[in-house]
Amino acid sequence: MAAVSAVRLRRTTLTGRQTERARAALARLTEAAVAAYRAGDESTAAGQLRALGLDEAQARGAVGLFLLTGTETLVSFVPRLVALAHDTGRGPDGITDALVEEALRVTSPTPVMLRSAARTGRIGGIRVAAGERVVIATLLCARAYGPFAPERDAAETAGLRRLWFGAGPHFCLGMPLATAEVRAVVGVLRGFPELSTAGRRPARGVLVPSYARLPVRARAGGVPRDGERLRKPDRRRR
């Protein structure tokens, strides 16, 4: 959070203090990756990046990007996915790949993207000068296709091409990792078929949308067999 909290839409640079904090956070985050790089361990991402010819700083930056964006997506998206499944009457078993894709569209883990115009031109009739900052409201673009509807034909939203993960040269390199992490967490949640939520509270003043509080009640094992007693519900907070 130390790195992400320094980002502001109105600024194009970081202060010296913010840069120091972000670098310190990145160093802690990628400590194991640096060790793996120096050891040349090709069973790790850092070791494979070294084998591909990246220097230590480049490999650390790439691993940091994967960890930072993947973790932010997971922390932001999974609670909202669970809440959406609950609100639409679906348990963890109902969280299909199609539902995950649709949930990514309506929640847009990256609600805003920043770009700089490569050359002078027009965007939607508005003149933009070369180098001028452009703010893309990803959330509004994605939600223009309508409300949450996991049963919809995927062809209806094909034009988005997973815009919430970026587009063109800016497409997120960590997207496969983020989606794999989401599937892994969903797989664990399927062990709690009677999952329910209550008393949620959204986070305010944050760059990445999330819940400040989302109590979750779950009962492991589902309905007991004859003669077995139900376990007491476990209260779990995400």
Task: Give the pLDDT band of residue 51 (cuts 50, 70, 90).
Answer: very high
Residue ranges of E strands in the chain? 113-116, 121-123, 126-128, 133-136, 196-197, 201-202, 211-213, 215-218, 234-237
Cα 116 from chain centre: 23
pLDDT at 130 > cutoff 90: yes
* Mean pLDDT score, 114-121: 90
Between 229 and 148, the higher pLDDT residue: 148
* CB-based contact 237:199 (threshold 8 Å): no
* CB-based contact 234:217 (threshold 8 Å): yes
Which tokens sit at 198? 């209550």
Q: Tell if the pTM clears 0.75, that is, is over it.
A: no
d(CA 13, CA 6): 10
pLDDT at position 230 is 31
pLDDT at position 145 is 92
pLDDT at 8 > cutoff 70: no
* Mean pLDDT score, 209-213: 86
Which helix (H) or strand (E) element contains residue 12?
A: none
